[in-house]
Amino acid sequence: MTSAGTVLYLTNQSAYPPHSGGQMREWQFLSRLGDRYDIHFLAITPHYDRDVRTVDALLGHCASATFFEAAPGPGDEPDLPDRVLQYRCDRVADHISRFLATHSVDFIHVEGYFLMRHVPDTPGTPILLLAENIEYALDRARQEVVGAEPVAWTRTREVEQAAWRRADLCGTVSVDDAAVLRHDLPTARIRWLPSGCDHISADDPLAAESAGLVPPTPRGRTVTYVGNSTWGPSRDAALYLLGEVWPQVLAEVPDARLLVAGSGQDPDGLGLTAVDPSVHLLGVVPSLAPVLAATDVFVCPNRFGGGVKAKILEALHAGCAVVSTSFGAQGVGPVVQEALLTGDSTDELVFGIVRLLRDGTLLDKQRSLVRDAIHTLPTWDEATDRMHRAWTEMRTPAAG
């Protein structure tokens, strides 16, 4: 098959195995577009020893796979946002310059503003910058919750907007973020590049393996949270759920059970010495299908964050009733938001969860609303088609 183009794809970790929402999104696109494009995968990763072991999996879909180990720290620029400093690596810019000089690259795809400083100014090589979140909005919300930090969110905004200006095309995962970007930078070329929601199914070959990891739970009494605890908003959400929300739920519904799944969702990863016996920290499971099948109420208690939460998409596609904060429900669209119970205070979250656990009729109603709403969410085929169109657009003269 003739290649549709050559892409230098810059990201911040291996896309495989797809344990986090970001990894899932990238893996779906790479595995679906790899037979159409020559994709040269390049990652600056804080998980170097882990990620280099995934090269063979990546080469099943990419023309090459290269990893550099991140060297976090302020260096000579202590006023940069932490997200930028996490991915310092002095060798990457030279590597990219040499690569562009020796390969015919149609465009560079960059996963996150915080990696743009590694991309040299190379005339004739356009850049697509994908914003999974509006990071300055995330920093602003986090600082409102946890207090002031050494680098103010306004500095993040300054650096992030400078990265957007450098890009020939900006992509966002949510329409809400596209609106923010368009407001901040009216001249930017912006495309909505969403995630799909249909990657989990009951006949997943890994589902049987995962089923044995899900403990028996009372029917009508199971609450689930899924998140990657190495990602700040998800870690905060897990600790907030365990420390403030769940004890109040348990006081109202003593036989309720809580399943918590995802990377780092274990006592060591969360920095906990013990949890209540009603809580089951599952960590990484090969497939979420049996976890979601056992779920009566899915909760997304994020107090800050952005983009579209993969965990919400997965729960909705599985037909779960969902209780979420407004941050957790961002980007899913008005039809889907109407199918959720939302609240931003601890009392509101507890009230929503307890109502659903106590009222089977309401639980069935919410599930029915979810089933009616999920048709408005894109499938991975639709999401891939959008990304393909954006990549095709990058090869046109207007992108240069």
Q: What is the mean pLDDT of the chain?
A: 92
Q: In terms of C-beta distances under 8 Å and separation of at least 24 residues, what long-range contacts does 356-361 make, across chains too?
A: 356/296, 356/297, 356/321, 356/323, 357/220, 357/221, 357/223, 357/249, 357/253, 357/256, 357/296, 357/297, 358/252, 358/253, 360/220
What residues does 64 pair with on adjacent strands? Answer: 40
- Residue 213 is predicted with a pLDDT of 67
> Residue 208: what pLDDT?
53
- Rounded alpha-carbon distances, angstroms, from residue 386 to 132, 192, 195, 383: 15, 8, 10, 5
Burial class, 211, CB count within 10 angstroms (exposed 0-12 / middle 13-18 / buried 19+): middle
Q: Which stretches of the chain score pLDDT less than 70? A: 1, 199-213, 307, 397-400
pLDDT at 399: 47
The pLDDT value recorded for residue 19 is: 84
Q: Are 347 and 323 in contact (CB under 8 A)?
A: no
DSSP 279: E
Tokens 């029917």 sit on residue:
219
Phi, psi at 154, each rounded to 5°: -65, -30
pLDDT score at 281:
95
Whether this prediction's pTM lies above 0.85 is answered by yes
* Structural domains of the chain, with CATH: 6-196+379-399 (3.40.50.2000), 207-376 (3.40.50.2000)
Q: What is the pLDDT of residue 17?
A: 92
Q: What is the pLDDT of residue 214?
A: 75
